[in-house]
Amino acid sequence: MAYIIAISNEKGGVAKTTSTLSLGAALAEAAQKVLLIDLDPQANLTLALGFEPGKMEHTSGDVLLDSAPLLESCQATNIPGVDLIPASTGLEQAEQVLPIYLNYTSRLRTAIESESNLPYHIILIDCPPSLGAITINALTAADLLIVPTQAEYFSAYALRDMMSIIRQVRSEDNPKLAYRILVTLLDQRNRTHRDIRDQLERTFGIGLFKTVIEIDTKLRESPILGLSITQYKPHSRGALQYRSLAEELIQYVEQTNSEAA
């Protein structure tokens, strides 16, 4: 089975989609076969990979609402080793409609588990900036939740809600759900950033990735061209840091799988 990772934070502007795309590309460089699932109605991940959301025949919304086969909606991307299940604005409907289904929180997990021969090592799920039915589906399916957060007060404060939703999902749908916090958009010159990052480390300990993602304008430029940072500027600070994150994540997954064996 593929290792499933949801990337979520109810606060916007924390590099959630950038991290999904950049981490996916870095994992593929490390010989991992990766599936990206765009569950955000804004479809920014889909756009960043060069797809027009309104023109896609099959999307993640079909998987959630119509039980469409997962691989039926799959698209090859221009990143070797990375495929995408795109999103569209129709996902906004899913947020309201999903709760009427029986066992609605596990529809994505059921879709993934029904594919007996998924050709992927890792599945990355880009969640909307909310904690509604779509995000709950992602967390119910996931082995690990990555929470990108800025080293700023309001972003760090929002982690309280994320911890609450983790406890809820563990108690109701997915007791195995683990989490790791990823500090993004860090400005090493900013003392407040450094102080909050240190506070996060003291608070969460091993729940915090050692790798941090610093501010890099190249990370904002690459999606405009439909490229990952590893393709656009492979030697940039952002590319190097996401490769470091990929290495740290692979080690974590290997250790977790070894302990579970």
Q: Residue 202: what pLDDT?
A: 93
Side-chain-facing half-sphere of 7: CA atoms under 13 Å: 28
Note whether 124 and 79 are within 8 A (CB).
Answer: no
137-157: per-residue pLDDT in tens? 999 999 999 999 998 888 888
pLDDT by residue (tens digit) across 21-35?
A: 999 999 999 999 999
Domains of the chain: 3-260 (3.40.50.300)
Q: State the Cα–Cα distance between residues 256 and 249, nearest whole angstrom.
A: 10
**Which residue in this structure is represented by tokens 């967390």?**
139
**pLDDT of amino acid 91:** 87
Distance between CA atoms of residues 6 and 147, nearest Å: 8
Is the pTM higher than 0.85? The answer reads: yes
Question: Two tokens at 107?
Answer: 């529809």
**Closest to 155 in 3D by CA, of 2, 5, 7, 13:** 13
